[in-house]
Structure 1
Amino acid sequence: MPQAPERHRLSLPTGELELDIHDSQFALDDVMGFAARANAKRGFLFLSKVLGKHWPVTPGMMRKVHASLADTVPELPGPVVFIAMAETAIGLGQGVFEAWLAAHPGREGLFLHTSRYRVGAAPIIEFEEAHSHAPRQFLHMPPNAHTRELLLSAKALVLVDDEASTGNTFLNLTDACRKLNPGIAHVHLATITNFMGAMATAALSERFGLPVTMGAPVSGEYRFTPGQLASASAPAQLFDASADRGASGEFGRYGLHRALTLPDGLAERLAGDVKPGERVLVLGTGEFMHPSYLLGAALERLGVNVVVQSTTRSPILTWGAVTAALTFPDNYGEGVANFLYNVTPGQYEHVFICHETAPKQALLDLADTLKARLFHFKTETHVEEVS
């Protein structure tokens, strides 16, 4: 007999959430919590505890999740293109891609992540994340000829996000990619949680118009009855196509065929400043997430007590899995509010902030608030500490 689902019912400040868990490879509390969003389109948030975004997580746990999702990818015709969804799942997607590469030596793959910033003069493909507070997303056409050819000749897509609830964003991105490359023959969706429900998941291939597989260590379905939905006090996206926001093409927007590396010397130097028992936070900024994970992983290998997290543009209420919130200007200069959740000044003995943008006043002020050190990643091997 099928097992009865694990049921959760929560009263949020923004409505009533019911969640049935049908299958889970992890204890639910280890991988996610519940939060309320300041978003009139969707008042709830399945807050992941393993992304390194809204919740502090050890690099070891992140690596375990990366490998778990990479294992869900079936044998696919190549080239295989992995695309991670901005902003929340950029680090997750890059970690899954690198875990897949390690498990498939010799296979050709490409990693890209979507963005809400334009880099250089590369053409962009736009699609919509309709329920988001910042709905416009972009995929850059790689300027490198070989990288562009991989995208345009790909036979399979692996789309990575932290959760699937409707599948609409995945469908919108798939349609945009198939207009560029009609030869795409298979789509695999890799998410930590799949809350679309069994019927909607089974109908994905028909809905997308090509074979679609789904890999998620946690699956179930939800129902949300809206109450008084909160509205963010300021816009979360003010896109200007002509503006240079300091975003880089080095780390995934223009495409990568290999795993990123990190200078071992940086981790060794920082570990030398950490005394036994001291706690360390490695903090990514906005869409710049994966290098902070790599630095955290390098510190962890050296025996440092370290967790990883990131700033975000997502407005979330202080409730449930969000116990603390800091608000500050964004370091990309877009003029939107940014946030850091579940971190308070003085909580960690050491905070290392990793950023791709030039050290503007917003970063300097955040570093001052957290008594942090700033590290400007100009490339993966050229990292400058900001004095």
Structure 2
Amino acid sequence: MNARSETPPLRLTQQLPTGLLEVELHEGAHELDELLGFAARANAKRGFLFVSKVLGKHWPVRPGRMLAIHERLASTVPGAPGPVLFIAMAETAVGLGQGVFEAWLRAHPGQEALFLQTTRYRVGTGPIIEFEEAHSHAPRQFLHMPAGAHEQALLKSARTIVLVDDEASTGNTFLNLTEACRRLNPQLERVHLAVLANFMGAAATAALSERFTLPATMGALIAGAYRFTPADCPVDAAPAQRYEEYAERGASTAFGRLGLARALRTPESLARALAADVKAGEKVLVLGTGEFMHPSTLLGAALEKLGLHVVVQSTTRSPILTWGAVTHAVGLPDNYGEGIPNFVYNVAPGQYAHVLVCHETPPNAALLGFARTLDARLFHYHTEDDVEEVPVR
């Protein structure tokens, strides 16, 4: 009987403007170019970025491709006791987490689950869990107590927690959040991490259960480890968060911050009306704003089903250098009113015939600035079924 041969790991070395990144991939190397690129961040805490090509944040992606990725990650969640609590990590993975939650619901009809997103904005006056994502450009995050009685009951009775992010590197943020949730709900029995890329390394991944003191599993499309050696170069030290506890930022309570136990509905009539304005062969960009991502993906998917050439992505507050997987960077004003620089990456002027900006915040000067800079139309989501086009001119 022949011994089973193992595929050797793929080793990559990337010299970034901010330092040397060394990557070793054990799983998913055959999909690397389709799933991941590399970029340099203007961040003293972490000078590199794994740019996901299927996240819809820094890189344009077809909506159908994103939804397929959601289904793949949802399928990694092991059969586990319910209710199941899904938590998406802000800012980057809010849309990913909501998509994974909805894909899991479709695959498990009749089973109870709750979706929550972490957020960098305080909404309402209810209780919150506060924690930090230490390496982030904007580290302070919150998890709000659900508003509805049913959603609160699901949170407090959940037995499995699924934490969704684009990447796992140390696992510290996942651990901090899980411990906070266990203080609220001691009945939690197991943890699953669903990420696009797991760079914790094999030993740390194998030790998850011991570290969490709960049965813990990992689902990832790419797995490996990395080492980064910073270069001696200046970085942008501009703040990415100006927190005022009770400041009104226009962040909505309708899309996941206060809990959802169902999938969002797609504005089909809006998609049909928008499609009527698009000529054959014209390219369409549907752009989410900050933490407001999944509704724009659903709109993009509806347009794609109507035969349009559509990609989706989102603005971000993460400062990234124009290098590697980031070929264009456009600075935008902050529509949440903190005065934090926002950006959209890999969007060149004139690249799209139609740019549709989806936002949760009320119309303001920043959004009008978005529209002028990107030659875009603005769509204010009051709820998933009530979407208002904001006059730009």
TM-score, normalised to structure 1, is 0.99
How high is the sequence identity, in percent, across the aligned residues? 69
Aligned to 2:134: 130
| TM superposition shift of 1:233 | 4.1
* 2:354 alignment partner in structure 1: 350
Aligned equivalent of 2:289:
285
Classify 1:26/1:372 alpha carbon distance in 2 versus 1 (closer, same or farther; 3 Å).
farther
Contact 1:83 1:157 in 2 (8 A): yes
Q: Secondary structure at the match of 1:27?
A: helix
Note if contact 2:55-2:61 (Cα within 8 Å) is conserved in structure 1.
yes
- What SS does structure 1 have at the residue aligned with 2:21? strand
Match of 2:216 in 1: 212
- Deviation digits for residues 68-88 of structure 1, max 9, x if unmatched? 000100011111000000010
Consecutive unaligned residues of structure 1, counting only runs of 5 or more, are: none
Aligned structure 1 segments of 4 or more residues deviating by more than 2 angstroms: 228-233
Q: How does 1:1-387 map to 2 (within 5 A)?
A: 1-24=5-28, 27-228=31-232, 230-387=234-391
Q: Deviations over 1:234-284 (max 9, x none)?
A: 200001111010001100001111110022110000000000000000000
Instruction: Give yes or no for contact 1:55–1:341 (8 Å, CA) kept in 2.
Output: yes
Maintained 8 Å contact 1:81/1:109: yes
Distance of aligned partners of 1:39 and 1:230 in 2 relative to their CA distance in 1, 3 Å threshold: farther
Secondary structure of 2:227 counterpart: strand
- 2:174 aligned partner, one-letter code: F
- Secondary structure at the residue paired with 2:217? strand
The root-mean-square deviation of aligned C-alpha atoms, in Å, is: 1.0
Cα pair 1:161 1:190 within 8 Å, conserved: yes
TM-score, normalisation: structure 2: 0.97
| Counterparts of 1:150 and 1:48, CA distance in 2 | 32
1:26·1:218 contact (CA, 8 Å) conserved in 2? no
8 Å contact 2:134–2:173 — kept in the other structure? yes
Deviations 1:295-322 (A, max 9, x none): 0000000000000010001111111101
1:129–1:137 CA contact under 8 A, matched in 2: yes
CA contact (8 A) 1:160 1:189 kept: yes
**Structure 2 unaligned spans of 5+:** none
- Secondary structure at the aligned position of 1:173 is classed as helix
Within 2, Cα distance between the matches of 1:282 and 1:104? 29
Distance 2:354 2:277 in 1: 9
The amino acid that maps onto 1:82 is F
SS of the aligned residue for 1:216 comes to: strand
**What is the distance in 2 between the residues matched to 1:122 and 1:354?**
27
Q: Hey, what's the Cα distance between the residues in 2 that align with 1:21 and 1:119?
A: 40
Query: Partners of 1:179 and 1:227 in 2: how far apart?
Result: 41
Counterpart contact for 1:120–1:244, Cα < 8 Å: no
